[in-house]
Amino acid sequence: MEKLSNPQVTIEVIKKYNFAFQKRFGQNFLIDGHVIEKIIKAADITKDDVVLEIGPGIGTMTQYLAEAAGKVYAVEIDKNLLPILADTLSEYDNVTVINEDILKLDIEELIKDEKGTLKVVANLPYYITTPIIMGLLENHIPAKSITVMVQKEVASRMQAGPGGKDYGALSLAVQYYAEPYIAANVPPNCFMPRPNVGSAVIRLTNWEKPPVEVNDEKLMFKLIRASFNQRRKTLQNGINNSPELNFTKEQVVDALKELGISENIRGEALTLEQFANLSNILS
């Protein structure tokens, strides 16, 4: 079969199966081979790798992954796509398609007998990007990296440093678990149907151990959430107004003093290391 990255081939497959795009699954199929090659290069896929692909769609990127990787598990939630994938991937014997919701899949169980290095690759539906990425990171799945196509502004937020408008709870959470690198920007015309926004390919390389030492991860993330829930307020007010936390004003002010930080500082000015230190003092 000719590659699905040729828009004509994609149109023929969609017509052949009378496929209707599902808005609730946020389906936008890639129709640009150069972009797919950039994704595979960014993910550094080799025959020693086991790839977990989330949302293969009609199998456009899966075809390239199958040629580059040792094994591919393609997890697709839309059962209407299964007969199409059976057809478009019929010549690849190293691909297993799984009809499942990635948020409910036991990934460790799935790959327990595999010897290769696990890498996650996906063209993610925009409406559920953050829950999927945070689910993969927080569950410490044994992947070396996660290379995903996301909305451009989400990629900027994941990579942002302190002080800018893009910096927030997502930046800190992602950077605690992984090192982000934006590999490519992708315009809307590389997809069918065209999304209304630009996209970006971002690679998250998981840290072997987190870049900061923290006694209580949960507390640190509660402090981070509290400080960004009310961005315009001072960090101290954010913490004292949070229903998740119960520190007195004095405790917070004393902790900030111990760190040599002004009590009027806003959360967006703190680095990950400062949040970790604040959490360690308050715990």
Global pTM?
0.94
Q: Rounded to the nearest 5 degrees, what angle is found at the Cα of 58, between the Cα atoms of 137 and 158?
A: 25
What kind of architecture, by CATH, is found in domain 7-206?
3-Layer(aba) Sandwich (3.40)
| H helix or E strand, kind and range, residue 179 | strand 178-186
Q: What pLDDT is attached to residue 181?
A: 98
Q: What pLDDT is attached to residue 125?
A: 87
Distance CA 98, CA 211 (A): 34
Give residue-wise pLDDT tens across range 128-172.
999 999 999 999 999 999 999 999 999 999 999 999 899 999 999
The fourth-level CATH superfamily of domain 217-282 is: rRNA adenine dimethylase, C-terminal domain (1.10.8.100)
Q: Domain ranges for the chain, please list them.
A: 7-206, 217-282
Cβ proximity of 43 and 147 under 8 Å: yes
Name the 3-class secondary structure at 54: strand
pLDDT at residue 193 is higher than 80? yes
Give residue-wise pLDDT tens across range 71-124.
999 999 999 999 999 999 999 999 999 999 999 999 999 999 999 999 999 999
Would you place residue 231 in the very low, low, confident or very high pLDDT band (cuts 50, 70, 90)?
confident
